[in-house]
Structures are given as C-alpha cells and as structure tokens.
Structure 1
Amino acid sequence: MVDIGALREEDRAAWEVLARADVSRERGASRLYWTTQDSDTAARALYDKVASFNGFVRYDCPLV
C-alpha cells in the first residue's frame, strides 16, 4: 500500500494518474487520455513518466 500523503507532489500526481487508469480499465476503457498546455513543461515531464506522447495537438472550434 502506498501512503499518498507521504509522496512528493510530483510523485503524488503520477500516482493519481495511474489510479485513474486502474479505474478506467475496471470500467472497460481501452485507453485514457488527457490534454495539457504545450508550454506546461512540468506537467509534460510528469506525464512522460506514465504515458506516451503520440504527437497530437488538440484544436477547438467553437460552434456557438
């Protein structure tokens, strides 16, 4: 058992991502993905530890 409160902030965030992956897998999901700003290097460094960047950049087109 991991004591989440004892983890460094970065490690805690990584653990939470992995925990969400477990829940998603239990609910039948085949993948988990999220977005972050390209310039958020701290977040991207964390995400690189637990997932793979596939080269996609998200664009939004407002419809209203």
Structure 2
Amino acid sequence: MADRYLDVAQAAERLGTGVRFIRRLIAERRVAYAKFGSHVRIAETALDAYIEANTVQPAARRTRSAYGRAA
C-alpha cells in the first residue's frame, strides 16, 4: 500500500497543533519528512512513528503499605 503524504497544515491538524509546531519539528529534524521541489511533506507512517516514540505511558498507581508509616 502506498504511503500518503501530508502537507504541514494536514500534519498539524492530525496532531491537533499549530503549523508553527510542525515547522519546528521539521527544522529540528525531529520528524522524518520529504521535499518535493519546494514542498515539504510528511508521510503518515513517519507521523505515526513520531507519535508512538513520544507517547508516555501512565505511571502505575502505588498502593499503600498495610502498615502505613512508622510512628
């Protein structure tokens, strides 16, 4: 299956951010992108990989000891 390429505005919409944030990711080379002439495009798979790499799992909830603190 061919990968779909998103422009900067579409990538920003997909992440729920502004265009400026996407452009900063590109400038800092934190997300893979391709240039077609003067147009910058981000592959959907590259965007998915960025999301996966920066997803933080919730911390496990700590349970209290049955004895509590020492008096």
Q: Same fold, TM exceeding 0.5?
A: no
Structure with the larger strand share: 2
Structure with the larger helix share: 1
TM-score range, shorter chain: under 0.3
